[in-house]
Amino acid sequence: MKSKFVKLAAVCAALVSLTLPAGAQFVEDFHGAKLAVDPEAAHTGWQALTGSGEATVSFTQKNHHGFMTVDARKDRRNIYWAIIKRSISAGIDADELARPDRELRLEAKIRISDAPRRVHFQINHTRTANVHINLREFDIADSNWHTISFTTKDFDATPKDEIFFVFGMTDMGRAVTTTEIAYIKVSVVDPAKVGPDLGMPLKYRPKMPPLDFYANAIPVFQDAIVDAAYPWVNFRAWTALEPDEGAIGTQVLATSGTQMIVLRWDLSKFKGKAPDGWGVLELTTNSVQWAPTNLEEFGYLRTVEIKAGDPNWMRDSVTRDSLFQGKPELDVLNGQLMFDVQPALQRGEKTLISINPAVMARLISGETKGLAIYPQGAVNASFASSQSPTPSARPSLHFNVK
């Protein structure tokens, strides 16, 4: 399945040059009398676009700042993408960029209304085939100002190519979210002299190493099922019954249209340490039932951070009501996905869910209270729980620390 970012490339390909002063950098500092925005014609300014859902997006200017606002309250599945974009070619010295020792550095100063959330930069040109190569995500941990930057590698634009800049907000939850932007800058730089990037740019879905790469494999401390249809009920004895086991069966974790898996770990011995790269959540499939369709991302599992609620819930007593403590869902769960994956379909197979370094840091520090997993589409799935008689099948968190 093609990612939503591949689909964005086709949207970006129609841009044409803007009339800007020649030089080695493009700057949008929102000091013009009016922000150049034209939803119909990219050649006259910024475009604000959205797709893969029912969200809407606007891009406005006030007090010398830009405001990108996404309204996803009517979005049904939270798989939308929302971007602002424009051609920057007329602001870039194409001949300077064509030198083999030159790259582009993308930089912006932003703050976001609801955090933690991820945003992304994307830079490509008319011949770009792989739009992920120069796409980076940034995990914004709070609603303070953050300067973020990303320096390309082997960006192969020629003086004949049109260069496109994209800033994106995707899958942020069924709410109104605004990114305030103090400035956007794209510069031709010498990567050997420009210094490190700011804000920990993350590759989009990087290839993960094998599990034995990780020094720490921590089994889940508490795991449970909570159910929106029965929010007062504890499901500690949820059981998969097998034909050859009579009525005994095996206790499992299950998720469906109303059921959510919640997990938390005791990471106290790592307090004060920083993660070294990405981590991985390992689940072992018990059973999966799903309906393959042509709908985008319809057979996936969605993993999100638990950011509030009862931090000390226990498997034998937790309910949805006790976990949420009367708070709205978006106050307890991060509205933006951490990662969507298709579950491994065969019993005993491993479902591996990548965890970016910023989320790993919040898990280790205790700021993030745990992880929640629910279906993105029509999926019923069950996995081995902490009660599995096979220790290697139990949910585990794999990571390295510095």
Q: Residue 17: is its pLDDT beyond 60? A: no
Whether pLDDT at 109 is above 60: yes
Report the pLDDT averaged over residues 194-216: 93
* Section 235-241 average pLDDT: 90
Tokens of 153: 């590698």
Query: What count of other Cβ atoms lies within 10 Å of the Cβ of residue 101?
Result: 9
Say how many residues make up the chain: 402
Which is more confident, 239 or 241? 239
What mean pLDDT is predicted for residues 39-56? 80
165 — pLDDT class (breaks 50, 70, 90): very high
Q: Which CATH number is correct for 211-399, 2.60.40, 2.60.120, 1.20.1050, 1.10.10?
A: 2.60.120
CATH class, range 4-203: mainly beta
Q: What whole-number distance in Å separates Cα of residue 275 and Cα of residue 50?
A: 34
Residue 12, pLDDT above cutoff 60: no
Of 27 and 40, more confident = 27
Higher pLDDT, 12 or 301: 301
Q: Within its chain, how far is the Cα of 86 from the centroid?
A: 23
**pLDDT score of 358:** 96
pLDDT score for 1: 42
Give 387's pLDDT tier (boundaries 50, 70, 90).
Answer: very high
> What digits encode the pLDDT tens for the residues 272-301?
999 999 999 999 999 999 888 888 888 899
Q: Mark residue 45 as left, alpha or beta (left: phi above 0; alpha: psi -120 to 50; beta: remaining).
A: left
Average pLDDT over residues 22-47: 76
- Predicted pLDDT at 136: 96
Q: Do 169 and 82 meet the contact criterion of CB atoms below 8 Å apart?
A: yes
pLDDT band at 243 (very low <50, low <70, confident <90, very high): low
The pLDDT assigned to 16 comes to: 29
Q: What is the mean pLDDT of residues 44-49?
A: 83
- Would you kindly state where each structural domain of the chain is located, as residue ranges? 4-203, 211-399
Residue 44: band (very low, low, confident or very high) from pLDDT cuts 50, 70, 90: low
For residues 205-223, give the mean pLDDT: 95
Per residue, the 3-state secondary structure of 72-115, as one string, reads CCCCCCCCCEEEEEEECHHHCCHHHHCCCCCEEEEEEEEEECCC
Q: Is 211-399 the same fold as 4-203?
A: yes
Percent residues over pLDDT 90 in the chain: 73
Per-residue exposure over 165-175, b if at least 16 CB sit within 10 Å of its own CB, e if not: bbbbbbbbbbb
Lowest mean pLDDT among 149-153, 240-244, 255-259: 240-244
Among 42-51, 81-90, 223-232, 344-353, the least confident range: 42-51
| pLDDT at residue 367, as a whole number | 96
Q: What is the 3-state secondary structure (H, E, C) of the chain?
A: CCCHHHHHHHHHCCCCCCCCCCCCEEEECCCCCCCCECCCCHHHCEEEEEECCCCEEEEEEECCEEEEEEECCCCCCCCCEEEEEEECHHHCCHHHHCCCCCEEEEEEEEEECCCCEEEEEEEEECCCCCCCCCEEEEEECCCCCEEEEEECCCCCCCCCCCEEEEEEEECCCCCEEEEEEEEEEEEEECCCCCCCCCCCCEECCCCCCCHHHCCEEEECCEEEEEECCCCCCCCCCCEECCHHHCCCCEEEEEECCCEEEEEECCCHHHCCCCECCCEEEEEEEEEEEECCCCCCCCCEEEEEEECCCCCCCCCCCCCHHHHHCCCCHHHHECCCCCEEECCCCCCCCEEEEEECHHHHHHHHHCCCCEEEEEEECCEEEEEECCCCCCHHHCCEEEECEC
- Identify whether 231 is preceded by a cis peptide bond (ω within 30 of 0): no
Who wins on pLDDT, 334 or 205? 334
